[in-house]
Every structure is written in C-alpha cells, then in structure tokens.
Amino acid sequence: MKKNIVITASMSLGFLYIIAQTQKPAKKTTDNPAASIERGQAVYQKECLSCHQMDGGGVPHMNPPLAGSTDVLKDEKKIIGIVLNGMTDRLPLDDEYYSNNMASHSYLTNQQIADVLTYVRNSFGNKADAVTVAEVKAVRTPKKSK
Amino acid sequence: MNKKLLLSITFSIATIFCIANGGDFDSTINAGLKLPNGFVAIKAAENVGQARHIAVSSNGIFYVKSAKAINGKSTFVLKDLDGSGKLTVINSFDNQGGTGVAIKNGYLYTSSNDDVFRYKLNDKNEVINPDAPEKIITGLINRREHNTKSIALDNVGNIYVNIGAYSNACQEHDRVKGSKGMKPCPILDSAGGIWMFKADKQNQTYADGIRYATGLRNIVGLDWNQETNSLFVMQHGRDQLFQNWPEYFDSTEGAELPGECLYELHNGSNCGWPYIYYNQKLHKKMLAPEFGGDGKIEGGKEYQDPLIAFPGHLAPNGLLFYTGNQFPEKYKNGAFIAFHGSWNRAPLPQAGYFVVFVPFKNGKPTGDWEVFADGFSGKEVVISTRGAAHRPCGLAQGPDGSLYVTDDSKGTIYKISYTGK
C-alpha cells in the first residue's frame, strides 16, 4: 500500500517534471522583462561593472566583452553556469583569449542572476530574450536523472 | 543610490572635460601626444602586431615583440631606411607571441609566455638564423593570469625573468568576494617574483635558476640600471579592494589603492605580496584584507619599501633609465615609465595611458613624478578601457637618444625627440 503511494507519487512527480521540461522551451514566462532589466542593472553595477566595464566592452585580453558576445546572446545555460561557477579555463571566446579568472557569483539569488543576465542580454547593443528564474534554478540544481 | 550618484558625477565630469577640451587631443600635432616644451613626436611605425617590448641596437636595428603572432610572426625587425625617422619592417620571425625582448653581448633575447630564447647577431646586429634560436629557459609557469615573461640582463652574464603570480591576492578562490588568503601563499615557490638564470646556458628550468626576489605580484616593466648596477621593477598592484572587501573599502579607495610601486631589487628582496599592499597616501604597507587587514592595520615591517608609488591600477608596462645625451640634463639617469592604463578604477573614469618621468640623482628618485607624454588614449576621459585608442607598453632609447614608445593596442611605435624649439 505504502509502496504504491510512493510509486504513484514518484510517477506523478515525474510526469509533472516531463510537462515542465517540455513546456519550458516552448514559451518563456517572465513576470515583467522591463522590471527584470531594471533590477538587473543594479546587480550589474555592483557585481559586474568593474571587470566588464560601463559599456559591457570588457578589457582587451583580460576580461571578455559582453557586448556582442555569442555566448551572451545565444547560450543562456553557459552564461548562467559561468555566473554561478566562475571561469578559470583557458578557452577562446569569439576567437580571443582572456587572462583574468572570473569569480563564482553563486551567492547571488536565482532572481538576481536572471535579472542581471536579462539586463546584459538587452544592453550594450545586445538584444535577446529574458533569462528566467527557472532556467537559473535548473543550472544551479540540476535534476538527477535515474 | 550612492552608486547612482557617483555614476552621474562621473559622467558629468566626463562631459565637462569633453566640452572644455573639444573632446579629444589634437591628433595632427606630435602624433596626438601632449609633450613638454621642446619635444616632438612622430608615429615611426603603425600596425606592428600587438607591440609589447622593444629593443634597439647601437646601429639602429629595432626588435619588437608582439603579444600575438600575426600571420605566424611575432618578432618584428625594423629599420629607418631613409633617415626620415619612419621605421620599416624588414624582417619578422617566431610564431609564438610574447612580451620580452633585449639585446646583450651579440645576442637578441626574446620571451614567449613559457620560455626564453636567444639568437646570435652578426656584426650588423642582424639575427643570423631566425628559425633556430637557442632555448635558454623552459617550462615556466603559464596559467592565464599574469603570464607574460619580461626580461632584463645584467653585465655579468645573468638574465632576470618575471614570473607573475597566477592570482590577484592568493585567495583560496581567486577574485571571489570575501575569500580568505592562503598563508603561506603556495604560489610563491614558482611565481610571484623575479628569477635569475644564466644568459648563455641552454634548457634551464626552475632547478637551474634562483628566486632572486619574491613577493611581487606581477612585473611587466623592468630595467637594469647601469648607474646603480641593479635591477629596478614596477609592480602591478592588486585589484578589487572595494569589489572583494566592500566592508573595508569604498569605491574611491578601491580605485586609488594600492599604489603601483617602483622597487630596487637585490638578491633576496621580498616586497610582501600577497600579505601586504602599499597605501601611497599614507606611505605605509598595509595588511591585505585577505590576511586579516581592514584598510587600517599596518602590514609586516620586514617587507621592502617602494622607492616611489603611483596611483592605483595604472598598469606600468615599461621601465627605462635614460642614459642618452639628446634630452636636457634633468632626464639623465632618470626613469621613464609607460603606463598601459587602468581597468579596475570603475565606476571612476579609467586612468594612465601615459608615459611618466621620475627624476633620479645618485640612483634615487629626487622628487615627484611628472607626466611626460600624454594623449595615447586619444581622449581626455576614458570610461571603458577599450575606448583608449592606443595603450603605451614598451620603451627603448634609440642610438640618437630619442625615446621610443610601443602601443600594444594598434601596434604603433612612437618616436619622441628633443629639439629645444
């Protein structure tokens, strides 16, 4: 009896998870992108500006630009991961190498990370859709696959 | 709120400067540079890769090392072919980018970010076999941060190599807010100092060299002073006092501290990184916040004091003691320093992007420093580092006593001469 409930519950959760997963890419829901961008600007000024600069231009050879960056515009998962975990790998970004290590910013909330990335994706000449709290959460605490 | 206000003030100041000065330096006079009376400048060459350091032979052969290989070449050879002052690239070789270049006793020395090489010169100071250098030193630490290997040579057969610390402040987690420092700092055994090797022995590794000086975060500009017969270096001071320790430093302190320090080194010198930083306003060594400091507690007295310290984050990339006869007497044996220009001063405007002169007498600085050549950035105010048109990096003294300044942003080589007019 108990076992059945557990199984049913697991299956239901699994089903909900599948629904959530299949629904997510279809349409992103953000409460209010303009509000998110405004909050994100404040986060940017506090956490990002010193290295990535006032215009999102970065510092040549040291800190990569966010303006026009392929990863910023096209790879939400990667940039969420970089904000959460920092970056110390020596890998080229848009064919250039950058020397400074980026610190982990995992102390920011999912909301703050969604906001700041939404701001970055809609500033400095960038134009891309919002990053949602759910997307940040999915990268921070990935669901374990059985 | 405070920050917004600060940003507004910054922008307002920038706007006022732009209006007052018509925005930019006049690019038609002296190659866009602002110089003391009696000096003139030209762009001797342009687009010479990402020109880092530069060395000149007694008969006017110029060697320039590029940070990146351009079409597979990173060491450029230039010469004034018609006496106009303009330099023409006459040869190029080596596919590994780097920073260091020096000429000594019939050899050209160059460095990549891992190794140091030398090339035999002929009696015209031309490289005899550009494709077959001797590898003098190999296997030096190269981990992203501070990986350039500047070089200088003494007069008794030694070569000095900077091995920069692959860290900002030797934190457990580099550049992470509030992350503690590691004591003892494990980086210092193989980086964060100057190593001395033999100038004529091949395939030397760490085991063959000695750690000549330690506690130096990163050195790019260095020079052997012939008057004092000793090595002088300019340290790149640590970043992010404000960003990583906002409980102890405000954004203005973070922009202006620590001082960029000039040191005279001897065997065994310890300048204190990462445990201390230098507060140039208080003229004191302070305990770094990663090691229990709070901006007020002084640091270890055992560490060497700088001879002079400049405002924070200006990034000294070139150091040259002037021994020529062309410039007025006050410049003799004094130090020129090329500042690459800052990035870690935001939200304040960025600064540097100039060449400074420090007068010396009997091997010691005699007075305050002065800006010698300004205007490399092409702007009165640089808000974002990439907005600087040119960034000074290397320095050399030509055979006629002119001063040469490289720019690693656009590969410009400036020639500055004294005419007295």
Which residues does chain A have within 8 Å of residue B346's beta carbon, measured at their own beta carbons?
49-50, 53-54
% of residues, chain A, pLDDT over 70: 77
The answer to whether the CB atoms of A86 and B176 lie below 8 A apart is: yes
Which residues does chain A have within 8 Å of residue B176's beta carbon, measured at their own beta carbons?
86, 103-104
Looking at the predicted structure, is the pLDDT value of residue A24 above 60?
no
Both tokens of A104, joined, read 């982990």
Which residues does chain B have within 8 Å of residue A49's beta carbon, measured at their own beta carbons?
346-347
Q: How far is B369 from chain A (nearest CA, A)?
A: 27
Query: Please, what is the Cα angle at B371 between B370 and B373, to 5 degrees?
Result: 145
Closest partner residue to A54 (CB to CB) among B3, B67, B383 is B383
Looking at the predicted structure, is the pLDDT value of residue A19 above 50?
no
The answer to whether the CB atoms of A65 and B386 lie below 8 A apart is: yes
Residue A31: pLDDT band with limits 50, 70, 90: low
Looking at the predicted structure, is the pLDDT value of residue A11 above 60?
no
Q: What is the pLDDT of residues B297-323, one digit of tens each?
A: 999 999 999 999 999 999 999 999 999
Highest mean pLDDT among A3-12, A30-39, A58-67: A58-67
Rounded to an integer, the average pLDDT of A47-72 is 95
Q: What is the pLDDT of residues B313-358, one digit of tens each?
A: 999 999 999 999 999 999 999 999 999 999 999 888 999 999 999 9
The answer to whether the CB atoms of B386 and A51 lie below 8 A apart is: no
Closest partner residue to A103 (CB to CB) among B145, B177, B383 is B177
The answer to whether the CB atoms of A54 and B144 lie below 8 A apart is: no
Whether the CB of B343 is below 8 Å from some CB of chain A: the reply is yes
Q: Where are the domains of chain B?
A: 2-418
Looking at the predicted structure, is the pLDDT value of residue A18 above 70?
no
Q: What pLDDT is attached to residue A32? A: 84
CA distance B256 to B179: 22
- List of chain B residues with pLDDT < 50: 1-23
Superfamily classification of domain B2-418: TolB, C-terminal domain (2.120.10.30)
Interface test with B, best of A41, A50, A105 (most B CBs within 10 A): A50
CA distance A111 to A140: 12
Q: What pLDDT is attached to residue B25? A: 65
CA distance B327 to B351: 27
> What CATH architecture applies to the domain A31-140?
Orthogonal Bundle (1.10)
Which residues does chain A have within 8 Å of residue B383's beta carbon, measured at their own beta carbons?
53-55
Which residues does chain A have within 8 Å of residue B384's beta carbon, measured at their own beta carbons?
53-55, 57
pTM: predicted TM-score of the whole model, two decimal places: 0.89
Q: What pLDDT is attached to residue A28? A: 55
Residues 168-187 of B with CB under 8 A from A: 168, 173-177, 179
The answer to whether the CB atoms of A50 and B173 lie below 8 A apart is: no
Question: Minimal Cα distance from A64: which residue of B?
Answer: B386
Rounded to an integer, the average pLDDT of A106-120 is 97
Question: Minimal Cα distance from A85: which residue of B?
Answer: B176
Residue A21: pLDDT band with limits 50, 70, 90: very low
Q: What pLDDT is attached to residue B28? A: 83
Looking at the predicted structure, is the pLDDT value of residue A9 above 70?
no
